[in-house]
């Protein structure tokens, strides 16, 4: 390889194809002690999962303002070692929404990785949330755009999921399984909220696929819903594998620390997949991205894009990579 070799990101991906490379696990916690334990675990494992501090379900009724202040303090603390801490707001029609944004952005907008907006009824609610967040960022003088995530869990949001995914301020969309099922007023049986049933009920499957497809169509990250059977690690692993391999999700929620490692493992490529991808991408770069033959199979830029994304996913999930691969593809740019 020469010093002028073109990097895979520059050779293979157009500007509108490259989604933000988010960690594959998004861990939610709403109680202060659990927030601190989650950040301690993140410090141990590295930035292979995000921690979302919950101001919606985590805040006690009547104590919303104090809870938001506590979340801002934790985000600003030394426990936030990697800058991979976000927060979930109240819905836009909740009395605490504007106060959440004012507190979190005003105090911690410079360090938060994203804000999650739950229960939008459609594109208009997402636009309202983004406008409020952007306004508060300008007022606070943070000089950056704070990424916005949204939960698709209402009929209106699912109807407009393409438009929501296309919104330039949206970085990721998550599927809100429990509220989505509840919105059907008993027409979807409770079994559809289980680790297995959520993959078999037709209406739930339809929603999951629509969200994933919309996200991929607009280079956004689709984030899979929770598995509530948090002590059944086999169920968590199987659900994460199905979400990743069959439903196109590149990220998944965790609601208990036990779930984090099974999710990381399920979303990680296998050692054989990584080895295969390394061989193809190195040979392709050495060939200046012209077509190559590898193991009697023709590869060109289309398959190169796939195998490069395998390597990126391996890195995001903390998989060990050979020194040559790290130096070729993931070393900081000179002077960077």
For the full predicted model, state whether its pTM sits above 0.75: yes
Q: Where are the domains of the chain?
A: 25-267, 270-330
Secondary structure of the chain as H, E, C letters:
CCCCCCCHHHHHCCCCCCCCCCCCEEEEECCHHHHHHHHHHHHHHCCCEEEEEECCCCCCCCCHHHHHHHHHHHHHCCCCCCCCEEEECCCCCCCCHHHHHHHHHHHHCCCCCCEEECCCCCHHHHHHHHHHHHHHHHHHCCCCCCCEEEEECCHHHHHCHHHHHHCCCEEEEEECHHHHHHCCCCCCCHHHHCCCHHHCCHHHHHHHHHHHHHHHHCCCEEEECCCCCCCCHHHHHHHHHHHHHCCCCCEEEECCHHHHHHHHHHHCCCHHHHHHHHHHHHHHHHCCCCCEEECCEEECHHHHHHHHHHHHHHHHCCCCCCHHHHHHHHCCCCCC
CA dist 230 and 238 (Å) reads 12
Q: How many CA atoms lie within 13 A of 272 on its CB side?
A: 0
What is the bridge-based pairing of β-strands 115-117 and 85-88? parallel
- pLDDT, one tens digit for every residue, the chain (336 residues): 445 689 998 999 876 666 778 999 999 999 999 999 999 999 999 999 999 999 999 999 999 999 999 999 999 999 999 999 999 999 999 999 999 999 999 999 999 999 999 999 999 999 999 999 999 999 999 999 999 999 999 999 999 999 999 999 999 999 999 999 999 999 999 999 999 999 999 999 999 999 999 999 999 999 999 999 988 999 999 999 999 999 999 999 999 999 999 999 999 999 999 999 999 999 999 999 999 999 999 999 999 999 999 999 999 999 999 999 999 999 876 554
Strand partners, 292: 299
- Distance, in Å, from the CA atom of 229 to the CA atom of 136, rounded to the nearest integer, reads 38
Domain 25-267 belongs to what architecture? Answer: Alpha-Beta Barrel (3.20)
Q: What CA–CA distance (Å, rounded) separates 278 from 272? A: 10
Token pair, residue 54, equals 């919950």
Question: Of 92, 73, 48, nearest to 262 (Cα)?
Answer: 48
């Amino acid at each position: 390889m020469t010093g002028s070799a073109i990097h895979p990101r520059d050779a293979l991906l157009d500007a509108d194809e490259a989604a933000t490379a988010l960690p594959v696990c998004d861990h939610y916690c709403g109680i202060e002690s659990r927030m601190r334990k989650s950040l301690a675990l993140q410090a141990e494992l590295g930035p292979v999962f995000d921690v979302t501090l919950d101001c919606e379900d985590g805040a006690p009724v009547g104590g919303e303002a104090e809870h938001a202040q506590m979340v801002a303090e934790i985000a600003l603390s030394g426990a936030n070692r990697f800058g991979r801490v976000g927060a979930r707001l109240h819905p836009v029609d909740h009395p605490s929404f504007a106060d959440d944004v004012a507190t979190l952005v005003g105090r911690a907008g410079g360090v938060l990785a994203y804000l999650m907006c739950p229960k939008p009824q459609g594109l208009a609610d997402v636009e309202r949330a983004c406008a409020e967040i952007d306004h508060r960022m300008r007022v606070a003088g943070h000089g950056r755009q704070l990424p916005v995530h949204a939960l698709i869990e209402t009929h209106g949001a699912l109807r407009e999921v393409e438009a929501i995914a296309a919104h330039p301020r949206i970085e990721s969309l998550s599927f809100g399984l429990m509220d989505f099922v509840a919105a059907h007023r008993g027409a979807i049986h409770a079994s559809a909220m289980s680790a297995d049933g959520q993959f078999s009920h037709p209406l739930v499957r339809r929603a999951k696929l629509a969200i994933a497809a919309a996200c991929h169509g607009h280079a956004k990250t689709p984030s899979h819903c929770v598995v509530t059977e948090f002590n059944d690690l086999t169920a968590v692993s199987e659900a994460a594998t199905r979400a990743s391999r069959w439903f196109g999700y590149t990220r998944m929620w965790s609601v208990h620390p036990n779930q984090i490692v099974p999710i990381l493992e399920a979303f990680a490529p296998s050692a054989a997949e990584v080895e295969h991808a390394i061989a193809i991408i190195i040979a392709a770069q050495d060939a200046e991205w012209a077509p190559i033959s590898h193991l009697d199979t023709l590869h060109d830029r289309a398959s190169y894009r796939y195998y490069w994304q395998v390597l990126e996913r391996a890195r995001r999930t903390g998989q060990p990579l050979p020194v040559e691969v790290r130096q070729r593809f993931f070393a900081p740019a000179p002077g960077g």
